[in-house]
Amino acid sequence: MTPVLFLKLLAIFVTIAIGWLAGRTRPFEGGEAARILSNAAFYVFAPALLFRATARIDLGTLPWHALAAFFVPVVGWMLIVYVQQRRRPSPEPARPSVRAITAAFGNNAQLGIPMAAALFGEAGLQLHLSVVSLHALTLLTVLTLLVERDVAQAAAREAGQGVPLGRTLLLTVRNTVIHPIVLPVLAGMAWNLTGMAIPGPVDEVLQMLGTAVVPLCLVAIGLSLGHYGLRGAASSALWLAAGKLVVQPALVLAVGWLMGLRGLPLTVIVIAAAMPTGANALMFAQRYRSSEGETTAAIVVSTLAFAATAPLWLLGLQALG
């Protein structure tokens, strides 16, 4: 592991530890403090980041072949987890979607960008940034559609009503579009299509708000860890982490190989798929008040295990040539 990656991992754990220590003090006791921080990130800071990122994507230069080799298996794996979990009875309608995002959504920004820069140089970094530019847009949009449908159906059942398809679809679409993650993405894409640059003062505000997402989420993870702990969630966190660190990159490797990718492009997308679970998973869990302790544990466990699995993936990819 390079010194840059070691320092990034260390910074992540130190920030989580600060949140954990804060959670042991009176002002932050209980799980509400972590939820407040996550809500601030979800409703204020993440929308600014997503709007700015989407508005600035250069769609004409994206490497669509490599992106397809990444997103087809990643979204496929996410949907497999979702369907498998939906077959299990649960009092929480959002649990299948929360577990799906935990097993699929990687820390491709804070950890993935410096890793790509350190290991793959400018060419690899550009490809990785292409993945990052569509990562939240694709995964969060798909899962928001699924979770809003499940929540709408559960609400109808609790009210003792049937689940009329037309009404469910209308409610799902409305709640999916008018959503703190999807709406900024749609607005950013609409701005992107105009071809206009974001005005300088507005861009500065958006950039400032966007930079707060990562530290807020990491502190929220620490607060949540202090409240829930790992006890009771360790076994489920382990299989979610295994899916994220082992199964998902293996699927990307297989699909990328079959699509004819070799060398640097294949290595970049496999390592992007092998990133540990990102903090957005906790934001999602706390938004829908489902599996918060389990998601926190999976983020911590997968980030710890990444220090061992990343070198193994790099060695295997190097052997493949």
Q: What is the pTM of this model?
A: 0.82
Give, as one character, the DSSP assignment of residue 126.
H
pLDDT in tens, 134-154: 898 899 889 988 998 899 888
Per-residue model confidence (pLDDT) at position 109: 81
Q: How far is the C-alpha of 107 from the C-alpha of 105, rounded, in Å?
A: 7
Give, as one character, the DSSP assignment of residue 106.
B
Burial class (CB in 10 A: 0-12, 13-18, 19+), 193: exposed
- Which token pair is 296? 């926190």
**Residues in CB range of 99: below 8 A, 6 or more apart:** 81, 82, 85, 240, 291, 294
Highest mean pLDDT among 100-104, 110-114, 136-140: 100-104
- Which token pair is 70? 């990444």
Exposure letters 298-310 (e unless 16+ CB within 10 A, then b): bbbbbbebbeebb
Quickly state the pLDDT bin for 236 (edges 50, 70, 90): very high
Please tell me which residue, 125 or 281, carries the higher pLDDT value. Answer: 281
Beta bridge partner(s), residue 277: 106
3-320 is classed in which CATH architecture? Up-down Bundle (1.20)
Q: How far is the C-alpha of 135 from the C-alpha of 49, rounded, in Å?
A: 13
**Nearest by Cα to 252 from 69, 62, 66:** 69
Q: Which amino acid is at 165?
A: L
Q: Which amino acid is at 186?
A: L
**Nearest by Cα to 251 from 125, 9, 79:** 79
Q: What would the DSSP string read from start to end of 272-291?
A: HHTSPBPTHHHHHHHHTT-S
Domain ranges of the chain: 3-320
**Proportion of the chain above pLDDT 70, given as a percent:** 92
Q: How far is the C-alpha of 219 from the C-alpha of 38, rounded, in Å?
A: 9
Q: How far is the C-alpha of 129 from the C-alpha of 113, rounded, in Å?
A: 7
